[in-house]
Chain A
Amino acid sequence: RKEVEQDPGPFNVPEGATVAFNCTYSNSASQSFFWYRQDCRKEPKLLMSVYSSGNEDGRFTAQLNRASQYISLLIRDSKLSDSATYLCVVSALNTGGFKTIFGAGTRLFVKA
C-alpha cells in the first residue's frame, strides 16, 4: 500500500462545476498536509496548506480528517485555468529530520 493514495482521475468537468478530490495517508504520525498543483511539464507549486480546522482560499477549500486519515480538496466554480494535476502531500518527522511524501496526483480537466 502506498503511503499517500489519490484517485488518479482524470476528472473531466465543465466550467462552473464543483469538484472534490480525496487523499488518504497511512502514517498516523503525519504532521503537515498540503495540496500542490502541477501543470503539464512544470514544477509543483503550493496551492494551500491543510489545517485541522479546515481552511478556505477563494474557490478552494481543504479539509483534514485525522481520525480517518484523509485530506480533501474542494474546488468551486471551476475555471479552465484550474486544469492541472493536484498533488496531495504529507510530511512527518522521522529520525532523519522529516520526510515529505507526494501522492501520484489527480488530473483535472475543465472544459468550456
Chain B
Amino acid sequence: GAGVSQSPRYKVAKRGQDVALRCDPISGHVSLFWYQQALGQGPEFLTYFQNEAQLDKSGLPSDRFFAERPEGSVSTLKIQRTQQEDSAVYLCASSNEIGPWDEQYFGPGTRLTVT
C-alpha cells in the first residue's frame, strides 16, 4: 500500500521567505509527527497530532513554526520568515496507534535549504 508521502522533496528558499511543507500520512493513521533532522544528527521532535488535535508542540523551535492537520489526515508544517538555521530535512511520520509503543512510518522528507 501507499506509504507516507511528503512534498516538495526539495525546497530552496531565500532568507525571509515563508515555506509550507506537506505530509500525507498512511490512510487511517491516527498519529502524525513532524521532526527536524540536521546533518549528522538524529531526528528532533517538533510536534505531534492525534487526529486533528495538536497534543504536543513543545519541539517547535520558535513562533515562526506552525503546524496544522485540520481534517485529521494531511498535515502542513509552515515556517515563516525562514532563517539559515532552518536548513534541514523535515521528516513526517505516522502511526496507527495513539501510544508510544507503535512503529512510526516515515516519509522521505523535505530537504529545505535557506540561502
Contacts and interface: CB of A to CB of B under 8 A. Distances in A.
B is bound to A: yes
Nearest to A102: B42
Nearest to B109: A43
B interface secondary structure, majority: loop
Contacts of A66: none
A104 interface: yes
A43 B106 contact: yes
B108 A97 contact: no
A100 interface: yes
Contacts of A105: 41-42
B44 A31 contact: no
A5 B103 CA distance: 21
B42 A104 contact: yes
Interface stretch (A11-19, A54-62, A67-75, A88-96): A88-96
Contacts, number: 62
B100 A100 contact: yes
Given A87-B43, A97-B98, 13 more contacts: A43-B91, A43-B106, A91-B101, A94-B56, A96-B48, A97-B56, A98-B48, A98-B99, A99-B45, A99-B58, A102-B42, A105-B41, A105-B42
26 contacts: A31-B100, A32-B99, A32-B100, A43-B91, A43-B107, A43-B108, A44-B106, A46-B104, A87-B43, A91-B100, A93-B99, A94-B56, A96-B55, A96-B56, A96-B58, A98-B48, A98-B100, A100-B33, A100-B45, A100-B104, A101-B45, A102-B35, A102-B43, A102-B44, A104-B41, A105-B42
